[in-house]
Structure 1
């Protein structure tokens, strides 16, 4: 049974998701004007964060807040804060691609204790709480059982428009592609991690993430039996934004390839 906090998070994600889905249907009509479409999506993104913030802060007014659009706010309770990405996969959304999500995490004493990733376009609700497992639409999640890199597919983000360390990403691909079954770049870090948790992907890595990109997904993978580490071994992946995640068997050989450049 979900905790009171998780129920609040699910309600907020669904409410924001309904608005985003409604606006998503309008995106195709705006493609004739790049600026018009971009402005529209920016408004949708901000409205989704407003809805989530209103729901969460009304329910837990003493908690802190960290949102992609509205930044950080200290709460009366210094040990707890919400970490929110109202629309992860904005570029997909802008182009009419149905692969984006609402991501909400609850942090307690620097540790993620509850997580929701809602893929509203596909109506897939991923949830997790510390110590209770991870689920998608009431189905228990487990990371994949694959044991060989050659049978496995991995997900990543590739820097674009001058953002992030492109040479490192290309070197990673050059080393990993010959020894695995494929690499996917779907454009939404929260869903990449949710897919690792559900066994759809066998692993994920990326540099340059923000806390709201990965906070919920980190707990999701761990509660599904997977491992999440920093690309540099002593890094906190939430703070550094440099993350490698996989099932327990694949993590070491996978991480060894990715860490070769760090």
Structure 2
């Protein structure tokens, strides 16, 4: 990496990654302190797409901390966007020419949070000219903070992480999820029916950002989901890439912020993984 690339990560003496890490940790601890005490529950698009005042408070906390350090940067947070795929695409398009864009999911796994199921996370990414260069996913329940910088690797608790070594789908543990947009559910279930007999087992725990972090850490061999948004994946995508894995859309196109149907793996099983979904006609929906 040349000197010009390294300069991307700081403004003056302020490290983008340090700000992302500190912000995620503060938001995560605040979220954890609210477990079981949220008072307002609202639906977005359906009873499966939920938001609490904790989501909104977490996003406000994150936004305030980041903007304090980088007031001229742009910010895209889940709670600032109207529900639905079209609104998500429009929000991303509005930032197409933005130099520095922070992409945030203040609680990825809100349904888990509401039920007290300890699998939710704070996801913070920074994109430079449309490409993630910093990604942080923090799991407050386990106090696990996954960090990646473009070109510098992925880390957990200061130790470098790598994707798993499985070379066959049959030896793999795969993750998936069921999106809030229930129009995507049939194709997700079709994919699940096709994948399950071909793998060691499947896990669906309800936070795409954490699932991607688990692929990066070698805990899952791969992950796919239909109908996600940029804030679900931006940080996790960089983690997977920097840990030596591969992330594309379900059709095999390289990952970008506009991807909605995602396929991530250790790289070694990627083609077999995608082909299994393709044969089941489970790559996407219209």
- What TM-score comes out, normalization by structure 1 length? 0.90
Aligned partner (choices 29, 38, 41) of residue 41 of structure 2: 38
1:30 alignment partner in structure 2: none
1:79, distance to aligned residue in structure 2 (A): 1.1
Residue 110 of structure 2 corresponds to 90
Q: Tell me how large the CA RMSD over aligned residues is.
A: 2.2
Give yes or no for contact 1:103–1:117 (8 Å, CA) kept in 2.
Answer: yes
Of 265, 272, 281 in structure 2, the residue corresponding to residue 253 of structure 1 is: 272
Q: Deviations over 1:5-62 (max 9, x none)?
A: 00001111111111101101536xxxxxxxx462696111111111100010111111
Unmatched tracts of structure 2, length 5 or more = 1-8, 43-49, 82-90
1:64-79 to structure 2, matched below 5 A, reads 64-71=74-81, 78-79=98-99
Q: Does 1:213 align with 2:232?
A: yes
Distance in 1, matches of 2:257 and 2:79, equals 18
8 Å contact kept, 1:63–1:82: yes
Q: The residue matched to 1:125 in structure 2 has which SS?
A: strand
Structure 2 Cα separation of the partners of residues 132 and 235 of structure 1:
20
Query: What corresponds to 1:155 in structure 2?
Result: 175
Shift of 1:159: 4.0
State whether structure 2 residue 128 is matched by structure 1 residue 117.
no
* Mapped contact 1:37–1:94 kept (Cα < 8 A): no
Shift of 1:236: 4.2
> Which residue of 2 is the match for residue 21 of structure 1?
32
Q: Which residue of 1 aligns with 2:5?
A: none
Q: For the residues of structure 2 that align with 1:182 and 1:164, how far apart are their CA atoms?
A: 25
Contact 1:237 1:243 in 2 (8 A): no
Is 1:141 aligned to residue 161 of structure 2?
A: yes
Q: Which residue of 1 aligns with 2:122?
A: 102
Count of aligned pairs: 252
Which runs of 4 or more aligned residues in structure 1 lie more than 6 Å from their structure 2 counterparts after TM superposition? Answer: none
How many Å apart are 1:146 and its aligned residue?
1.0
Compute the displacement of 1:138 (Å): 0.7
> Normalized against structure 2, the TM-score is what?
0.82
* Structure 1: runs of 5 or more not aligned: 28-35
- Secondary structure (helix, strand or coil) at the match of 1:238 reads coil
Q: Are the counterparts in 1 of residues 247 and 255 from structure 2 also a CA contact under 8 Å? A: no
Within 2, Cα distance between the matches of 1:243 and 1:93?
23
